[in-house]
Amino acid sequence: MNWFKPFEDDLAAVFAQCEARLSDLPPPLNELGISYLRAFDVFEQDSSKNYICYLLPFWMKELTTLPAESYRHLAAANIIGMLYYFIQDDIMDSVRESPSPLHVKQHLALATLLYSEFLAMYQAYFPPDSAFWQFFKVYNQEWSDGVIHESSADYFVNVPIGVAKKAAPVKLGSTAVLLLAERPELIPAANDMMNHVLLTLQMMDDWMDWKQDLADGSYNCLLAMIKARLGRPWDAALTEAEAQEAIYIRNLLKPYAAIAAETHTRLTETGLDSPNLISFHYTMVDELISDANHIENSKQTLALGGLNYYLSISTKK
């Protein structure tokens, strides 16, 4: 992972900075905050890895020249912000569950403190009249729109790039670096790249999580495509057996992966010099294609299974 290895020392410093800030929160919220951080810590075994959130400021180095500490500080701000938005997601998910598995009061209190930390970390670099805060507002509006309308608008089927809206605040990581380096003219192209990467990232997550999303009733790109191929609306019921047949018998993962491959082609045509971001995207596309090919090869092996078995027995005689 050439988009990760060169930045390991930086990330170690970034996570240490985040832990120090969370340790200063009042108890018991400090412990809750640190437990959230460790659940996403890239150096913790079995943690969820949100590489783009951690690394995006560093991936802007080809386009900018800033002190090393600035990249680290902005990466830490992105991580604290990430925790805030993930807690929002957890709270929204808990509303659908009964009884709620969260101590909602504690999580809401922690989210408020994280949001304050998130703002303070950016305020250290951007005064009130900075263009940064307009971008901040726009990305939060996109996030809100994605949260509210993702399912009813059936984004993946109707406007695929709309899937990126729920992760729009991640773009603060590139926008902050470009503004600080006085390269604001690159922000539109960077945002265009990021929207495509975030689309594929969500597609990858939805391929991994389709069973859980089906059980929870959450919007899922792969399931949305399956429903569309079956001629059903986004809110129609879909059984696990139907989904499995679509994925493992009809191999609808293949056209799904093809969408990611087309996205990669568009990504490489933006002309923005961010090789690590492009390499990260290619890693996801390659994995989707490999999984689709594995399903196809498994189908062929099963289809030939009876004949192969017969031939093997005949050879031994």
- Which residues lie below 8 Å from residue 135, measured CB to CB, with a gap of 6+? 171, 172, 175, 179, 187
Q: What is the mean pLDDT of residues 169-184?
A: 98
| 203-251: pLDDT as tens digits | 999 999 999 999 989 999 999 999 999 999 988 999 999 999 999 999 9
The 10s digit of each residue's pLDDT in 110-150 is: 999 999 999 999 999 999 999 999 999 999 999 999 999 99
The residue-averaged pLDDT of 4-9 equals: 96
Mean pLDDT (whole number) for 254-278: 93
CA nearest 131: which of 182, 73, 179, 192? Answer: 179
Query: What confidence score (pLDDT) does residue 303 get?
Result: 57
Tell whether the model's pLDDT for residue 157 goes beyond 70: yes
Report whether 233 contacts 226 (CB < 8 A): no
Q: Which amino acid is at 34?
A: I
Distances (CA, A) of 112 to 33, 36, 80: 11, 14, 12
206-231 as b/e, with b when 16 or more CB fall inside 10 Å?
A: bbeebeebbeeebbbbbbbbbbeeee
In the prediction, which pLDDT does 65 show? Answer: 96
Quote the CA–CA distance of 170 and 194 in Å, as a whole number: 9
Q: What CA–CA distance (Å, rounded) separates 152 from 233?
A: 10
Q: How many of the other CB atoms lie within 10 Å of CB of 171?
A: 24
192 vs 91 pLDDT, higher one: 192
Q: According to the model, what pLDDT value does residue 95 have?
A: 63
Position with higher pLDDT, 227 vs 98: 227
- Residue pair 70/125 in contact (Cβ under 8 Å)? The answer is yes
What whole-number percentage of the chain has pLDDT above 70? 92
Q: pTM value? A: 0.92
Cα 281 to Cα 47: distance, rounded to the nearest angstrom: 21
Residue 303 or residue 11, greater confidence: 11
Angle at 151 (CA atoms; ends 262, 136), nearest 5 degrees: 75
Residue 299 has which token pair?
């189908």
Q: Assign 97 a pLDDT band (cuts: 50, 70, 90).
A: low
pLDDT at residue 273, as a whole number: 87
Reported confidence tier of residue 315, pLDDT bands at 50, 70, 90: very low
Burial level of 203, CB count in 10 A (0-12/13-18/19+)?
A: buried
pLDDT of residue 310: 39
